[in-house]
A = this chain, B = another copy of it.
Amino acid sequence: MRVAVCGLGRMGSAFAAALVGDGHEVAVWNRTPARVDGARTAATPGDAAREAQAVVIVVFDGRAAEEVLFGGAGVAPGAAPGTLVVNATTLSPDESRALARRAASAGLRYLEAPVLGSVPAVRRGALHVLTGGAQEDAADAEPVLRAWSHAGRRQHVGPVGSASALKLVANLALGTTVAALHDAVRLGRALDLDREDVLDVLQNGVCGPLVARKRERLSQGDYGDADFTLAALAKDLALAASAADAPLVMAEAAGALIARAAEHDGHLDVAAMGQA
């Protein structure tokens, strides 16, 4: 299949490499120069989308996705009618629905496909993928999605917006847990506890999966080469807090805490909240 990937952050690069590995004909574009072995490097999103049957978009936020899709040299002006857009960016449901409407007006098909998990899961083909949109579009995206997720890990949630909604719920839980880790290690330090004892207790407890996944970073104090950045998590918590119909006090408290940390260095991995 001819596939374009727009956005070559850690996830986009891993997506493109997996597609190349599956034998697809891949074109890639990134805002700043970047390349992927075995893929054609395009100068614009529109150029990447030219001749593509599916265009994968995985960028920072809704605004960036809008620019990639509908900017002057964007996907919409470059792609053939009926091209399938697979948007893996984390968006609010409203943002995703707005992009879908505009894509339809431009003659494109639109599937939202946010993912749960990170680069190692892409490499194992075990990423959890949530899809929202037409069933037919999800079926047509299957050759693309199976490059990073096996069938048991793909869940069609419902219409456009529903998968974005479920992704927001998951990232709300991630954000509040990261912020809770922050408080827990601070309390441990204030009470003169051994940091490894604290991490052990947390790893064996209700937020164990986060600590287990981040344990090496937390024990070594290494928060660079992020799997998921503070800036991205702060953005997702703001989306979650504003998407609810009543105040979400934990999401708001976590969002404020993480946004403040992201102002210092938003490129750090979210595990940096567990510094003491």
Q: Which residues of A contact B (CB under 8 A)?
A: 93, 116, 128, 155, 157, 161-162, 165-166, 168-170, 172-174, 176-184, 186-188, 190-193, 197-198, 201-202, 204-210, 213, 240, 243-246, 248-254, 256-257
How far apart are the CA atoms of A243 and B173 in the complex, in Å? 25
Residues of B contacting A253 in the complex (Cβ-Cβ under 8 angstroms): 249-250, 252-253
Q: Is the CB of A257 within 8 A of B246?
A: no
Q: Is the CB of A207 within 8 A of B173?
A: yes
Rounded to whole Å, the gap between the CB of A124 and the closest CB of chain B is: 15
What would 17 A/B residue contacts be, using CB atoms closer than 8 Å? A165-B193, A166-B197, A166-B198, A168-B187, A169-B184, A172-B180, A172-B187, A173-B202, A176-B177, A176-B179, A176-B183, A180-B250, A190-B244, A190-B245, A206-B213, A249-B256, A249-B257
- The A contact surface, by secondary structure, is helix
Question: Closest 5 interchain pairs by CB?
Answer: A176-B180, A165-B191, A206-B210, A183-B248, A253-B253
In the complex, residue of chain B having the shortest beta-carbon distance to the beta carbon of A253: B253
Q: Is the CB of A173 within 8 A of B169?
A: no
Rounded to whole Å, the gap between the CB of A90 and the closest CB of chain B is: 13
In the complex, residue of chain B having the shortest beta-carbon distance to the beta carbon of A153: B204
How far apart are the CA atoms of A245 and B245 in the complex, in Å? 35
Rounded to whole Å, the gap between the CB of A146 and the closest CB of chain B is: 19
Say whether, besides A193-B169, A201-B169, A254-B250, A174 and B116 are in contact (CB < 8 Å): no
Residues of B contacting A169 in the complex (Cβ-Cβ under 8 angstroms): 184, 187-188, 191, 193, 198, 201-202
Q: Is the CB of B179 within 8 A of A250?
A: yes
In the complex, residue of chain B having the shortest beta-carbon distance to the beta carbon of A250: B183
Residues of B contacting A206 in the complex (Cβ-Cβ under 8 angstroms): 173-174, 177-178, 207, 209-210, 213
How far apart are the CA atoms of A204 and B169 in the complex, in Å? 12
How far apart are the CA atoms of A169 and B199 in the complex, in Å? 10
